Amino acid sequence: MSKLKVGVVGLGAMGEPMARNLAAAGLLSGVHNRTLARAKAFAEATGVKAHSDVAALAAEADVILSCVSADQDLHEVIDRARAGFMHGTIWIDTSTVRPATAQALCLDLKNDQIDFLDAPISGGVEGAKAGTLSVMVGGDEQALNRAMPVLESIGKRITYMGASGSGQATKAINQVMVAGIASAVAEGLALAEQLELPLERVVEVIMSGAASSWFLGRRAPTMLSDTFNLGFKSELMLKDLHICAGLKPGALPLVGRAIADFTALVEAGHGSDDISALIRLSRKRLALT
């Protein structure tokens, strides 16, 4: 069986390393990015084709993998790709959008004989680079089986969650927990600073106990050195949290507090900082006591 030809749409912080892993696996045929210069630079480095027209990319791909910022971006890029669709193409979307958006696109694309999989990802930029992402997939299971070589090139764990929208619903739950953990780590580390504890030993001992977490282990050193450019942007987390809140309006108090905190970060000009910048807010609160 010949290898699948994959086109990647979106070469941002997560999309670019995923595309590199697909290229390393010999699956990547072309890329498209809103900023064409970025696609051209990637193409020169990897030997794949840079497409200014996403429909041209779609016309040459068995599988299209997208990683864009928001629901409207996904709608727009799919609409622009329609002219190039081939029957039987699989569209894998790794963005974080509303479950209802995934469900609507899945139904819509069936009219073009395109299988749509919502396949949001978790694991951070580090996981995208290492090809060790966790992928939560909703949609047709047979389509997933066909697309598995693609997902196995970007992720370590690929889990089928059920019907269309199930992947995005699972990602919403992931983001609720990420926001809570990030807030707890930020508040705890800021308190440790104020109490003048030996911070490296604080992190070491906590990582050996029940409060251990990926976020604490990976982000504590950068938070304590005021480095906030490594992970998931605060403005994107704010977008995701609004998706979470919309699933059960008024019933998720942790999400409500997280929305308030990330709104404060964005309004203070820190929207491009990664979510560990929450420690800025914790430090301010503690300074007032």
Alpha-carbon distance of 106 to 104, in angstroms, equals 5
Query: Which residue among the candidates 3, 129, 156, 171 is catalytic per the annotation?
Result: 171
Q: Residue 157: beta bridge partners?
A: 134
233 is catalytic: no
Alpha carbon 219 to its chain centroid, in Å, reads: 17
Q: What is the 3-state secondary structure (H, E, C) of the chain?
A: CCCCCEEEECCCCCHHHHHHHHHHCCCEEEEECCCHHHHHHHHHHHCCEECCCHHHHHHCCCEEEECCCCHHHHHHHHHHHHHHCCCCCEEEECCCCCHHHHHHHHHHHHCCCCEEEECCEECHHHHHHHCCEEEEEECCHHHHHHHHHHHHHHEEEEEEEECCCHHHHHHHHHHHHHHHHHHHHHHHHHHHHHCCCCHHHHHHHHCCCCCCCHHHHHHHHHHHCCCCCCCCEHHHHHHHHHHHHHHCCCCCHHHHHHHHHHHHHHHCCCCCCEHHHHHHHHHHHHHCC
Q: Which residues are catalytic, by number?
A: 171
